[in-house]
């Protein structure tokens, strides 16, 4: 289960980075929303290991 959570978090992190890059080439009206989507994806990708995986022993 921890491997699945890691894969999901890693995909969200990489997807957020891609959204950051796409925000500058997106339509000007949608650029802030795409950039905000990147921030949200990275926040969720960091919240998964911090809150749901617990601490390592």
CA 17 to CA 12: how far, in whole Å?
9
- Answer for the pair 31, 24: CB distance below 8 angstroms, yes or no: yes
- What tens digit of pLDDT does each residue of 6-18 get? 899 999 999 999 9
- Answer for the pair 17, 38: CB distance below 8 angstroms, yes or no: yes
Count the residues in the chain: 57
CA 15 to CA 56: how far, in whole Å?
26
- What tens digit of pLDDT does each residue of 5-55 get? 889 999 999 999 999 998 888 778 888 899 999 999 999 999 988 877 776
pTM: 0.81
For the beta carbon of residue 36, count every other beta carbon within 10 angstroms. 12
């Amino acid at each position: 289960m921890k491997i699945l959570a890691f894969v999901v978090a890693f995909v969200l992190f990489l997807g957020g980075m891609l959204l950051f890059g796409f925000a500058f080439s997106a339509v000007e009206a949608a650029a802030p929303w795409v950039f905000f989507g990147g921030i949200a994806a990275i926040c969720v990708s960091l919240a998964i290991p911090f809150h749901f995986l617990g601490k390592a022993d």
